[in-house]
C-alpha cells in the first residue's frame, strides 16, 4: 500500500497486524499457563479449517495489479476465516476457559472484518472515482502519450540513480534516464499538455517510475498497432522492447532481487 502511495490504508494494515501479533502472544500465554509449554501443532486431534491464503498474498504483494480494494477484499476474507476458526474452537472446546477465550477471539476477528469492510467500501469509491477521472482525461495520440511518459520518467530515473546503493544499478538507471530524455526530445512536442502524467506527481520512488514505464510501453504498443509504414513500426517496436526491459529492471529493484 505504501508503494501505491496509500499510507492511510497501510496504517490500517499495520494497526491490525499489531493486534494479531497480540492475539498470537495471548494464545502462547494461555498454552504456557495451562501446559507449561508453547502451542504445538502435534497436539491437534482435529484438522483446523483453512484460514490465511499465504500464496495468494505473496502473489498480490509482487504484482503490479495490486490495489487497495483487492488487498482489503483479501483481508476481509481472511478475517472471516479467522472468525470461523475461533467459533469452531469455541464450539468444540471442552474446557470452559478455552471456550470463553475462543469466543472473545471470534468477536475480535468479527470487529476486524467490519473495519476492513468499511475501508474496502472507501477504496471501492476512491478507485471508481479515479477510473472515471481517467476516462474523462483527454487522450493524446499514442506517440505523444509515450513522449509525455518519457519526459516525466527521465528525472525520476535520475533521482532513483542518486539514491541507489548498488553501483551497477545506479549506472544503469542513469543510462536509462538519459535514454528516456533523448527519446522524449526526439518526439514532437504536443501543442498543449493535458495535465500531469499519472504517476509523475508522486515522489521519486519505484512505484511512480513503474507506473510511468508501464504507461510508456502501452503507448508504444498502441502506436505500433496504428503505424502504417514499416520503418515507423520497427522503430516503435524497438522503443517498446527497450521500455519493457526497463520495466524488468525496475521490478527487479522493487523485489530487490
Domains of the chain: 7-136 (1.20.1260), 142-254 (1.20.1260.10)
Predicted local confidence at residue 221, as pLDDT? 82
**Which residues does the chain have with pLDDT short of 50?**
191-203, 257
Q: How far apart are CA 15 and CA 3, in angstroms?
A: 18
- Euclidean distance between CA atoms 67 and 205, whole angstroms: 17
Q: What's the distance, CA 13 to chain centroid?
A: 13
What is the per-residue pLDDT for 59?
A: 63
Question: Which ranges constitute the DSSP H helices of 137-229?
Answer: 142-163, 167-186, 206-226
Q: What is the pLDDT of residues 70-104, one digit of tens each?
A: 888 888 888 888 888 888 888 888 889 889 989 99
Predicted model pTM: 0.49
Instruction: Report pLDDT for 180.
Output: 84
DSSP letters of 116-148?
HHHHHHHHHHHHHHHHHHHHHSPPPPHHHHHHH
- State the pLDDT at residue 127: 76
Query: CA-to-CA distance for 90 and 98, rounded, in angstroms?
Result: 7
C-alpha cell at 127: 478507485
d(CA 191, CA 200): 20
Amino acid at each position: 500500500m505504501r508503494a501505491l502511495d496509500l499510507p492511510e490504508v497501510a496504517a490500517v494494515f499495520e494497526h491490525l497486524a499489531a493486534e494479531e501479533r497480540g492475539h498470537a502472544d495471548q494464545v502462547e500465554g494461555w498454552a504456557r499457563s495451562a501446559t507449561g509449554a508453547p502451542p504445538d501443532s502435534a497436539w491437534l486431534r482435529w484438522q483446523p479449517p483453512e484460514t490465511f491464503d499465504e500464496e495468494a498474498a505473496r502473489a498480490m504483494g509482487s504484482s503490479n495489479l495490486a490495489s487497495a480494494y483487492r488487498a482489503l477484499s483479501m483481508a476481509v476474507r481472511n478475517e472471516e476465516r479467522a472468525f470461523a476458526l475461533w467459533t469452531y474452537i469455541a464450539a468444540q472446546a471442552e474446557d470452559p476457559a478455552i471456550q470463553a477465550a475462543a469466543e472473545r477471539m471470534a468477536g475480535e476477528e468479527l470487529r476486524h472484518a467490519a473495519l476492513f469492510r468499511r475501508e474496502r467500501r472507501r477504496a471501492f469509491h476512491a478507485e471508481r472515482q479515479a477510473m472515471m477521472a481517467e476516462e474523462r482525461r483527454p487522450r493524446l495520440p499514442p506517440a505523444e502519450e509515450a513522449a509525455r511518459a518519457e519526459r516525466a520518467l527521465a528525472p525520476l530515473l535520475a533521482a532513483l540513480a542518486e539514491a541507489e546503493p548498488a553501483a551497477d544499478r545506479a549506472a544503469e538507471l542513469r543510462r536509462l534516464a538519459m535514454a528516456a530524455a533523448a527519446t522524449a526530445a526526439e518526439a514532437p512536442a504536443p501543442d498543449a499538455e493535458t495535465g500531469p502524467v499519472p504517476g509523475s506527481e508522486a515522489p521519486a520512488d519505484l512505484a511512480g517510475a513503474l507506473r510511468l514505464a508501464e504507461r510508456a510501453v502501452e503507448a508504444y504498443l498502441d502506436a505500433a498497432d496504428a503505424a502504417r509504414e514499416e520503418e515507423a513500426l520497427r522503430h516503435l517496436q524497438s522503443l517498446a522492447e527497450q521500455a519493457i526491459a526497463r520495466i524488468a529492471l525496475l521490478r527487479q529493484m522493487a523485489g530487490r532481487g
